[in-house]
Chains A and B, each alone.
Chain A
């Protein structure tokens, strides 16, 4: 239990962090299979280590929504992928183009991998809601 204790200490040391519920809605789902994987990152962990993750059943032609609870105030980015074959990753073809649909908070252009700054959103006070369009 050393690591959670350290984390709690670190959070406490950072000051009175207010926690917020972050709700999200993912649209642009085309196929029925697999799962929608939604992940929230901060700048340091962006595309490396999820802070929180959700796994949702897709609704073809529809939208799914969920919530990350108790997210401390701060700046984050949310990614969503439609993991159609349930291998827990975004598949790419040989030349490196993703072959499953994905999207980010802010719905940035998908020319090249987005930077954290392209996808970043502020979380502060009350409930925050973000809509992500898969492409």
Chain B
């Protein structure tokens, strides 16, 4: 390179740092990530896995409670790289469903990739054939004429309803799996005119067995009500101007509750081949919209304002009988985890993952006056769960994952936490110093009808050991530590969500 070329290159770099960074990032995620794992060992958890796994009998410390019998199903993105190309966003990985089976003989584990058409085609060719939500691969589409099912990675949640096991994503169909073998049966079409519709990853199952779910595309929100016997009872599409996407919602006795961050989608960027994520923008300091829909008549809708921020998840919602709707969600200060943190994780760039404020927000809405009160808890949290026996009803307990100690954000949680939302007391347990703690799921003890009687079960990746443990707590005494730990003979990529199906 002669001097003129060198000068020109320097000027170009100075003039367009973002463009240069983008070009660099597009080519070097895999190399950057693998180099970073030598420095930051915890990143190895996100290296991914490329084959199904099984361990028939896990090594157990402590005693599994006799009442805990059934299967914990979990889901999460697990395959991140093919032919030297690494996805740019955690959400793009192919879904792998885990089954932890608790029987008289101990605990077994099996993990199988969901055999989506995308996964099968890419397995056959050993390369990516599809762009992802957060990864634009040159010449490879994300959406197609038939919607998003061609890009469906079924990687976000797994739920059992009416004995049907379904792996869920946000932008397309549920995929039904065989509950015993985890073999994929195929996409669920609830009714012919609902083929290929988004069926989101956070359905809510009320104590009577009714399952509500939603699905969003720009400006439209589909609402599904599935009867306790697994048949479709209702499907409607609401016009919601300005809506771009919707991850979770809550149900109360009377309402469906949505919190919508002000989100902009630049269609020209999509048409120019950028990833969906790259076409998103979040105006700073814009209040979030609270949308409350009457369950009995979905056309009855009210909107309120919530403080600026971002969210993924709700805990629960309930009507107090005196005109107040109460609910909780995890309030992020911004969309930083989505936009910067998770891409940074994929290229091992710890500097792009500063600790993010994400706190449990307790909300009370006086429906008559429109007055909205919010109260933020203090811990950095994610993945709120309640006792399934109180979904849509008043709950006293709320279980979450949290980060205890310095410098930990929602990407590096190391502890589990219970709030008694009535007394404000907290009950927490911190894992080993270097642990990556997943969502923990409440499992009811059927010997009792009391809210909170049961166990909290969940996985933690031990960084020093490179293995994953499945842990069982007395759900009302987390601080006493796990009453049993089952160790896998391997590590699993930290997953997103799951549910327990009692035997």
Contact = CB atoms under 8 A, between A and B. Distances in A.
Size class of the contact patch on chain A:
10 to 19
Interface string B143-177: 11111000000000000000000000000000000
B222 interface: yes
Instruction: Please classify the interface of chain B as helix (H, G, I), strand (E, B), loop, or mixed, using the class held by over half of its residues.
Output: mixed
A8 interface: no
Interface in B24-45: none
A55 B144 CA distance: 23
A95 B194 CA distance: 8
Contact of B271 (A93, A108, A134): A108
B146 A100 contact: yes
B198 A95 contact: yes
A63 B93 CA distance: 32
B290 interface: no
B270 A111 contact: yes
Nearest to A111: B270
Interface in A80-128: 93-103, 108-112, 118
Size class of the contact patch on chain B:
20 to 34
A135 to B, nearest CB: 4
Contact of B146 (A101, A109, A112): A101
Nearest to A97: B147
Interface in B125-147: 141, 143-147
A33 to B, nearest CB: 15
Nearest to B271: A109
A51 B235 CA distance: 38
Contact of A111 (B143, B194, B195, B197): B143
B146 A99 contact: yes
Interface in B238-279: 267, 270-273
A99 B237 CA distance: 17
A93 B145 contact: no
Interface in B169-221: 193-198, 215, 217, 220
Interface of B: 141, 143-147, 193-198, 215, 217, 220, 222, 235, 237, 267, 270-273
Given A109-B270, A111-B270, A135-B141, 13 more contacts: A93-B194, A94-B194, A96-B220, A98-B145, A98-B146, A99-B147, A99-B196, A100-B146, A101-B145, A108-B271, A109-B271, A110-B141, A110-B145
8 contacts: A94-B194, A95-B215, A96-B220, A97-B146, A97-B217, A98-B146, A99-B147, A110-B141
